[in-house]
Amino acid sequence: MKAPSLSVRFPARSPGTASRWPAWLVAGATTALLASACAGAVEEPFRSGLAERDAAQAEGSSDAPAADPDCDDANPRPSLGPPEPLPAPASLPAGSYMAEIQARGVLRAGVGADTLLFGFLNPQSGDVEGFDVEMARLVADAIFGDPDRLELIPVQSAERIDRLQDGTVDIVVKTMTINCERWGSINFSTVYYESGQRLLVGNDTGVVSIDDVGGERAICAISGTTSLARLEAEGVATIEEASWTDCLVAFQQGRAFGISTDDTILAGLAAQDPYAEVVGAPFSEEPYGIGLPKDHPEFTRFVNAVLEQARSDGTWERLYDEWLADVLGKGVAVPNASYRT
Ligand code: GLU
């Protein structure tokens, strides 16, 4: 087995340092938040027939269509069926992308570094933490038997697909909405969180929904996101920034009247600004999936098996309670998985 490579650009969270909603933040920090193997030992874990279909998909991926023809805009969630059972780290199939990652010694995960709750650099611990990071740790654990064999690489929303396609990262776990256009370039896991777009404004504006904004007051969103696309489609005036922290600055400087994106991200921004409040009902569906390379469908199936396990053995609920329940509400149901095959 190759010696472990533990060098990380951002350290993975140390085991046992379960963080909650950080006190330094609740205490009222404003924009402070930061800136931005054993590969030979194998068995035959995949159901017959899947391998041929995977090979065909991988072949077609060099000439990826604009949108995935197998994807339904009304419900883009179905992903590739998982192997049964999930192969153990010592039994990853030879030639699979999982075996390649194992031989390398570390899983490279693209994550956010300024999205409170999901992927954020905790200045107290120096670690990048959050629910998305936990999803990456589950995948690392399934490949290595060790969740810390993880290199966390910060990515902006607009570069999530490029970093997967150029091989800089093996997975992207960054509040990433599953949709058919993206399925044309990358694969997604099954949904691991159901979000929805909302609006953040100053708490003395009288604005209670996106319909009150009109076409003149500028709302901030960031490049390469479903959030920006939806605002533009609805005729809302927009300010485009590179990160949600930049949007918070624009809002606090009065350049933006408000910010609109997923309820999850807005909850984290609102916690950093006592003048901000999140208003109105969600006006979109933003199902989050783990972004995966298109040319390794066996890896998508493997990650889906990892998520199946987390759904069924209580891990998802434990992580939800640890990271999200205090802010996003208790008693949220585990999102259902659905499969194309
Ligand atoms: N869920 C939205 C998307 O995938 C926004 C997420 C983000 O910017 O982190 O485009």
> In terms of domains, do 164 and 67 share one?
yes
> In terms of domains, do 136 and 160 share one?
yes
Whole-angstrom CA distances from 28 to 193, 201, 324 are 27, 17, 19
Question: By the 8 A CB rule, do 146 and 334 touch?
Answer: no
Residue 179 Cβ < 6 Å to ligand 1: no
Give strand pairing partners of 222.
241
115 CA distance to ligand 1 centroid (A)? 10
Q: To which H or E segment does residue 194 belong?
A: strand 193-195
pLDDT digits (tens, 9 = 90+) for 281-294: 999 999 999 999 99
Mutate to test the pocket of ligand 1, among 157, 223, 266 (most ligand atoms within 8 A of CB): 157
pLDDT digits (tens, 9 = 90+) for 220-254: 999 999 999 999 999 999 999 999 999 999 999 99
- 335 falls within a domain: no
Q: Six-digit token pair at 127? A: 């670690």
Write the residue with the smallest CA distance to atom 8 of ligand 1. 157
> In terms of domains, do 258 and 235 share one?
yes
Q: What number of other Cβ atoms are within 10 A of residue 254's Cβ?
A: 8
Reply yes or no on whether the pLDDT at 176 is more than 60.
Answer: yes
> In terms of domains, do 275 and 145 share one?
no
> In terms of domains, do 127 and 232 share one?
no
pLDDT digits (tens, 9 = 90+) for 98-153: 999 999 999 999 999 999 999 999 999 999 999 999 999 999 999 999 999 999 99
Domain total of the chain: 2
pLDDT at 48: 38
Reply yes or no on whether the pLDDT at 331 is more than 70.
Answer: yes
- 9 falls within a domain: no
> In terms of domains, do 179 and 317 share one?
yes
- 271 falls within a domain: yes
Reply yes or no on whether the pLDDT at 11 is more than 60.
Answer: no
Reply yes or no on whether the pLDDT at 32 is more than 90.
Answer: no
pLDDT at 68: 85
198 CA distance to ligand 1 centroid (A)? 12
Q: What's the rounded mean pLDDT across residues 55-61? A: 48
pLDDT at 67: 77
- 336 falls within a domain: no
Question: By the 8 A CB rule, do 176 and 291 touch?
Answer: yes
pLDDT at 41: 33
Domain extent, residue 100, equals 22-194+288-328
Cα–Cα distance, 123 to 41 (Å, whole number): 41
pLDDT digits (tens, 9 = 90+) for 212-226: 998 889 999 999 999
> In terms of domains, do 293 and 275 share one?
no
> In terms of domains, do 272 and 158 share one?
no
Query: Taking the model in full, what pTM does it have?
Result: 0.84
Question: Among all chains, which residue has been given the structure tokens 């300024």?
Answer: 114
CATH number at residue 30: 3.40.190.10
Counting runs of H as helices and runs of E as strands, what totals does the chain give?
12, 15
pLDDT at 177: 98
E-strand stretches of 203-297: 219-222, 238-241, 258-262, 276-279, 286-288, 291-292
Residue 227 Cβ < 6 Å to ligand 1: yes
Give strand pairing partners of 278.
200
> In terms of domains, do 28 and 134 share one?
yes
Q: Report which of 86, 109, 96 is spatially closest to residue 39, judged by C-alpha positions.
A: 96
Helix axes 315-323 and 297-312, enclosed angle (nearest 10)? 80
- 11 falls within a domain: no
- 158 falls within a domain: yes
At 69, the pLDDT band (50, 70, 90 cuts) reads confident
> In terms of domains, do 168 and 227 share one?
no
> In terms of domains, do 45 and 119 share one?
yes
- 248 falls within a domain: yes
Write the residue with the smallest CA distance to atom 10 of ligand 1. 225
Mutate to test the pocket of ligand 1, among 186, 189, 225 (most ligand atoms within 8 A of CB): 225
Bond preceding residue 85 cis, omega within 30 of 0: yes
Cα–Cα distance, 209 to 201 (Å, whole number): 9
> In terms of domains, do 232 and 178 share one?
no
Residue 264 Cβ < 6 Å to ligand 1: no
